[in-house]
Amino acid sequence: MISFKMPSLGADMEDGTLVEWRKQPGDLLKRGDIIADVDTQKGLIEIEFFGEGILEKHLVAEGEKIPVGTVMALIRGESDEITEEIPQENIPDQEKMVEPAKVEEGKIKVPVASPQKAGGERVRISPLAKKIAEAHQLDISKISGTGPDGAIVKADIDKCLREGQEKKAKAKTDPIVTEPRYEPESKLAIPESEAIRKAVAAAMSRSNQDIPHYYLEKRIDFSKAMLWLKEANKERSVQQRLLPVALMIKAVAKALDDVPDLNAVWEDGLERKNEINIGFVVSLRTGGIMLPAILNADTLSVDGIMERLNDLIPRARAFKLRSSELSKSTFTITSIGEGGADKVYGVIYPPQVGIVGFGEIRDEAIVAEGMIGIKPVVDVTLAADHRATDGLIGSKFLASLNKYLQNPENL
């Protein structure tokens, strides 16, 4: 059985409200199906399921607000016949267990005993029964209650445990249940700017409280990049023209590939990420910021990145992002653009471990090959989590970034 959980759509998300079930028990689910609409601080999100199976049970009622990681539904996958043959330690039978979910990325905490029951009703369970169920990791959504109004009481748990002991005597193996990756897709309704402000406030406060930032900066000669862009844009129709930021994002993605310790999260330890998903700070005209991610930026061409930006930025401003674009970034870029500040020192978006800031591209007198010349430069800063990396790593990253920006044709 697959436990489908409330996804986290960023460090600032604690819970979400189930607005509507889009799939009903018995429905066949295929990869990419939208299972439910969930309302979050960032708007209404369509949640996609990226596995296959049959929806067995809803565990959460529409209208209910639940914390991230709560099991929302059970889905019977193809492999369930097999798991039924392999009862787990201390687990009554295949129905009574909560799979120790192996989450693909990060460590989402899962409440062991889900407070929800099929049909969207809240599970009625006595505090004592709940305590025992949690101690034994029983999935209470699978236990039928004999207490008042069908509440689960201690006797029901005892019965369940007795049955479990019998089962356990027959076979004993390690649990092998993996949860298929979900990649929730979402559309965002227009949230109040207040909600955005709150979300930003929460994430940034947490960052400044928890993360010991260190800062490095490097002035990067941008003349070759500008020249390359100028040439490149000559050949491109107006719709396909590139902005310097596309180049910057690509260069950052490649530099992260060289210095993977920065493409990571810190959760009681450094955890490198396999994908390089670059979060890009988009400021909203109404105040606040959005952080859509360019997924797998290292595998995209500069044109590909520009295409993503053309798609993402207007959607971010219209609050029409998908949840995967909100939740999956592994590193962040903030860019000041034209007419702004010379330098920007970022605040890390937790649990990421770094943010790179590009100031305005401007002409400066710089020394190169013993000569003073006027060249376009950009001041690049790195703010990184000192728990995760040290200055040497950060310095390597900036050096690598510079290397790529000096050879834009290779990006």
Stretch of 36-44, 108-116, 147-155, 366-374 contacting other proteins, by CB under 8 A: 147-155
Which of 26, 174, 268, 338 is the binder for other proteins (CB under 8 A)?
338
Separation CA 129–CA 131 (nearest Å): 5
Least spacing, CB of residue 377 vs other proteins, in Å: 17
Closest CA to 147 of 163, 123, 122, 125: 125
Q: Say if residues 29 and 61 touch (Cβ distance below 8 Å).
A: no
Residue 370 tokens, joined: 């013993």
- Closest CB to other proteins among residues 146, 208: 146
* Residue 135 in contact with other proteins, rule: CB under 8 A: no
Report in angstroms how near the CB of residue 130 gets to other proteins at its nearest: 8
Contact flag: residue 367 with other proteins (CB under 8 A):
no
Pick the piece of the chain touching other proteins (CB under 8 A) from 33-41, 200-208, 282-290, 388-396.
282-290
Cα 323 from Cα 262, distance rounded (Å): 23
Residues in the interface with other proteins (CB under 8 A) total 30
**Could you check whether the bond before residue 351 is cis, i.e. omega within 30 degrees of 0?**
yes
For 361, residues 6+ apart whose C-beta sits below 8 A from its C-beta are 222, 226, 244, 338, 376, 377, 378
Q: Does 168 bind other proteins (CB under 8 A)?
A: no
Candidates 174-182, 242-250, 252-260, 324-332; binding stretch for other proteins (CB under 8 A): 242-250
Using rule CB under 8 A, residue 269 touches other proteins: no
Residue environment code for 209-224, b if the CB has 16+ CB neighbours within 10 A, otherwise e: eebebeebbbebbbbe
Residue closer to other proteins (CB basis): 216 or 243: 243
Q: How far, CA to CA in Å, does 372 sit from each of 95, 268, 342, 367, 368? A: 75, 48, 20, 4, 6
287 binds other proteins (CB under 8 A): no
> Is 238 one of the binding residues for other proteins (CB under 8 A)?
yes
Q: Which is nearer to other proteins, 86 or 153 (CB)?
A: 153
Contact flag: residue 313 with other proteins (CB under 8 A): yes
- In the complex, least distance from residue 128 CB atom to other proteins, rounded to whole angstroms: 4
Q: Residue 243, interface with other proteins (CB under 8 A)?
A: yes
- Piece of 56-64, 293-301, 335-343, 350-358 that binds other proteins (CB under 8 A): 335-343
* Residue 229 per-residue DSSP state: H
User: Tokens in use for 97?
Assistant: 């267990």
Among 44, 177, 245, 383, the residue binding other proteins under the rule CB under 8 A is 245
Among 54, 101, 103, 153, binds other proteins (CB under 8 A): 153
In whole angstroms, what is the distance from residue 330 CA to residue 88 CA?
Answer: 35
Q: Which is nearer to other proteins, 219 or 241 (CB)?
A: 241
Work out how close the CB of 285 gets to other proteins at its nearest, in angstroms, rounded to a whole number. Answer: 6
**Binds other proteins by CB under 8 A, chosen from 314, 368, 386, 390:** 314
* Separation between Cα atoms, residue 404 and residue 253, nearest integer Å: 10
Contacts of 268 (CB under 8 A, 6+ apart): none
Should residue 233 be labelled a site residue for other proteins when binding is judged by CB under 8 A?
A: yes
Please give the residues from 13 up to 42 whose contact with other proteins meets the rule CB under 8 A: none
Contact by Cβ (8 Å): 73, 56: yes
Kindly indicate which of the ranges 4-12, 74-82, 337-345, 402-410 contains the residues binding other proteins, using the contact rule CB under 8 A: 337-345
* Residue 331 to residue 176: CA distance in whole angstroms: 32
Of the candidates 336, 333, 243, 335, the residue with the CA atom closest to the CA atom of residue 293: 333
Q: What does the alpha-carbon distance between residue 55 and residue 181 come to, in Å, rounded to a whole number?
A: 16
Asked if 159 touches other proteins (CB under 8 A), the answer is no
272/346 Cα distance (integer angstroms): 21
Q: Decide: residue 303, CB within 10 A, 0-12 exposed, 13-18 middle, 19+ buried.
A: middle
Is position 126 an interface residue for other proteins (rule: CB under 8 A)? yes
170 makes contact with other proteins (CB under 8 A): no
By the rule CB under 8 A, 235 interacts with other proteins = no
List contacts with other proteins (CB under 8 A).
126-131, 147-148, 151, 153-154, 230, 233-234, 238-239, 241, 243-245, 283, 285-286, 309-310, 313-314, 337-339
